[in-house]
Chain A
Amino acid sequence: MNVDQPRVAILTDYLLHPTDSCLMLTSENFYLLELARFIQEELGWSVDVFQVSPIPERRFNGLNVKGIDAPPDSNGMYQTLNFSFFRAGLAYDLRIYHHWHLAFPQVCHRSIVISQGIFWDSPAGVINRQNSVGREEWEKRLLYAVAAPARFVAQDRNTVNVIKATWPGYEHRLLYLPPGVDLERYQPPASRPAAERVRVLCPQDFGLEQGINEIISLAELLVEAAPEVELHIVGRMREFSTAIMLAKRIHALENCRFYWVPTTHLAELYRTFDLALLPYRAGVGVSIHCLRAMACGLPIVAGLAGGLAEMSIDGWNGRLVPPGSARILLEAVVQLARDRDLRLRMGENARRLAEGYPLSAWKRRWKDLLERTMAAASPGIDAGALED
């Protein structure tokens, strides 16, 4: 351990595909890369990432990505991964658990746990499939991950509120640290000339609850209801075979496209759209996709779920809709598609809202948190026991 350059270990589930060396393009992973880059480049500390993978060590984007071959158990818990990381993490100065559900049964000393949002609010979620004993166990462990680390970072107010309501008396262990967006890079275009087509951005991580099926159903409905609207599903799936299947389904729809672009091109791409559609149902914290889209001046149509509600004020910067229904989406999308002025006005408001989440503030907060945590001396040894 070099005193001058603290070492940070970050634990996540899947940053890269476990066997193929491609990045899993999810909101959480964008966040992780941003955070790692910030720690390395601006704090000058070193960062290693640990994740589920049989490959012991890889390099990605200037990061060492270390594999721990330990998939989740039948309860959806990552016990083995957690334990292996506990051991490996001892050699570092500071540890970050990038997901709430990775931080039990045991966190290391001097650790920060990040919540990516309330992940169990879907009826289909892993916790709802347990019996009372299993759910009690989940609850116990979730509380542990809040109470035991040096700090628990909540990125959205929904997480804060759920924790407060579920385990009153632990809210002081939380740190609300909202995400940030690069407002320079993600900017609205100089002008949005009137066009015949209305281009809708649908950023997707293809998580279970991001409403991909609603988007496809919407596309079917739009053929008749608003043929001028085209949907662009932007993202990359984890498995090639499922991506092919999805592509086939989408191929049959003339007004719908499915592709992904490298992160460097995202800002440029986002600017070409007229509105963003995030019909997420559940399991969402703050979405970096949402922030980026807003920073590019896109009004958003978002599902009332998790942290999205914090980003979207219905009727001001877009529409906040009850999730799960293609027809309600249709109504909102058609409204925005048909009314250019409304779209532009809401887009301006969206940009204004995004300006409340500047990357600089995010960096300042993280710097502060990391330095405080790093500076905390361990109470575990009596430094003066040997003096008189």
Chain B
Amino acid sequence: MDHRVALLNTVFALDDTGCVTCGGGERYLIELCGLLRELDYDPQVWQPGTKTHEIEGIRVAGLPWGGMEYGTLPELNKQFRERTAGYDKFIYFVPVLAFPHVRPCSVVISHSVFWDSPLQPWTAHGGPVREEWLRRLHQAVTAPDLFVSVDTNALNWIRALWPGYEDRQVYIPSFVETGLFHPAEQSPDRQKTVVLFPRRLEWNRGLDAAKAAALVLTQRFATVEFHFVGQGAGAVTEDEMRHWAEAHPRCRYYWAPMREMPEVYRRADMVILPTQCSEGTSLSCLEAMASGKAVVCTRVGGLTDLVIDGYNGRLIEATPEALIAAIDDLFRHPDQRARLGAKAAETAQCFSLKKWRRRWAHALSTIWGDLHAVDPL
């Protein structure tokens, strides 16, 4: 049996020094490669680019990638197909990579319904452009042997549009390292209440709603502090954010490397994820939950797979008003905060890395088990 697995990725985000910046996608990929190794597979990653990198022990080779068409990368897809002619197991890291060609025994991963934004060109378009985009999406969803979705949202969306392919679809929610992210042993400083926004500084992650809430609530309560912890799309965004935070009392902006994040979560009293769109089962949300924090999430995408409103967190409408009301409520009721946080920690156990690995191992065995090698002719 050939143990090699060819994996096509969009691109590992690299910072200026050539080190990988750990966004959710990158962490997912690194964990997945780790799991594959443990299962005795040998993962090889390709991505658009010209150079070959070695990232966390994973060999990442560059491929010419041509241009983008209707959100897909046909040239990259073709190059990948040609370079991996000798392989017989494949993973396409996002659906747009799985067009026009998928190989037998291939897996495609959906990380979210990413096209639910009014700014997303394909949903905004009508007519033949949208139809063509949908056709390609349909193919990327139905052609692979296994479609792995991190949330039920994508599966339900697909079912309501193209029903009848459920048998080859599987829901594997994201993971959290419960060993790293765990509740604090002592309760945090009672003098202040820290509201944490642990996301990238992006509109679709709800940055604007969070800022609006910070303005109102720091005015309203003298003991509230807002911490914005995350990178921006560039230095300019981050500088802007820094200036903004400096201009507003008890608003702070910084970012911490991955290894310090557990502590950042533990220091918070509540965590807000006011996502506007394009969300799966967010790693940040899971980490906050594993840290035993009360989370305030919008009811967008995969967040509803993690949070049940009033049971293990708050699920709110995606407006600043709703966000303010929810934070206000939690601020006034520390007991509720504690209760939700405890339930959240319990919930996070269902999304442990260990379970995630077992889910993936099982899913892969259904298509890559010994009996499922390529059909001989």
Contact = CB atoms under 8 A, between A and B. Distances in A.
Report A-B touching, CB under 8 Å.
yes
Interface of A: 104-110, 144, 147-148, 150-151, 168-170, 172-173, 175-176, 368-369, 371-372, 375-380, 382-385, 387-388
B372 interface: yes
B361 to A, nearest CB: 9
B358 A384 contact: yes
Contacts of B99: 169
B359 A106 contact: no
Contacts of B164: 104-107, 144, 148
A375 B371 contact: yes
A172 B102 contact: yes
Contact of B101 (A169, A173, A368, A387): A169
Contacts of B146: 379
**Most chain B CB inside 10 Å of its own CB: which residue of A110, A169, A372, A379:** A379
Given A105-B164, A106-B164, A379 B362 contact: yes
16 contacts: A106-B163, A147-B143, A169-B100, A169-B143, A172-B102, A172-B106, A173-B143, A175-B375, A369-B375, A371-B371, A375-B371, A377-B362, A383-B358, A384-B355, A384-B358, A384-B362
A379 B170 contact: yes
Contacts of B195: none
Contacts of A379: 146, 168-170, 362-363, 366-367
Contacts of A105: 164
B377 interface: yes
B372 A176 contact: no
B284 interface: no
B137 to A, nearest CB: 12
Nearest to B147: A379
B362 A376 contact: no
B71 interface: no
B103 interface: yes
A378 B363 CA distance: 8
Contacts of B359: 382, 384
A384 B100 CA distance: 35
A380 B100 contact: no
Nearest to B370: A375
A382 B163 CA distance: 22
Contacts of A109: 166-167
Given A147-B143, A175-B375, 19 more contacts: A104-B164, A107-B164, A148-B142, A150-B167, A169-B99, A169-B101, A169-B143, A170-B143, A172-B103, A372-B372, A377-B366, A378-B366, A379-B366, A382-B172, A382-B355, A382-B358, A383-B358, A384-B358, A385-B350
B184 to A, nearest CB: 23
A107 B142 CA distance: 14
A376 B371 contact: yes
A107 B163 CA distance: 11
B334 to A, nearest CB: 31
Contact of B139 (A169, A372, A377): A169
Interface in B343-377: 350, 354-355, 358-359, 362-363, 365-367, 369, 371-372, 375-377
Nearest to A144: B164
**Prevailing SS type, chain A contact patch:** loop
A157 to B, nearest CB: 11
A172 B104 contact: yes
Contacts of B143: 147, 169-170, 172-173
Contact of A176 (B358, B369, B377): B377
B375 A110 contact: no
Nearest to B106: A172
Nearest to B350: A385
B183 to A, nearest CB: 18
Interface string B158-190: 000001111111101000000000000000000
Q: 9 tightest CB-CB pairs across the interface, nearest first? A: A109-B167, A379-B170, A172-B104, A384-B358, A147-B142, A375-B371, A379-B366, A372-B371, A169-B100
Contacts of B369: 375-377
A136 to B, nearest CB: 12
Contacts of B104: 172
A168 B135 CA distance: 12
Contacts of A110: 167
Contacts of B354: 388
Contacts of B166: 109, 380
Nearest to B172: A382
A107 B165 CA distance: 8
Contacts of B142: 147-148
Interface in B310-357: 350, 354-355
A225 B139 CA distance: 56
Contacts of A168: 100-101
Contact of A368 (B167, B366, B376): B376
Contacts of A151: 375
A283 B265 CA distance: 66
A346 B363 CA distance: 53
A110 B372 CA distance: 13
Nearest to B146: A379
Of B103, B164, B165, B166, the most chain A CB neighbours within 10 A belong to B164
Contact of B372 (A108, A172, A173, A376): A376
Interface centre among B106, B143, B358, B359 (most CB of A within 10 A): B143
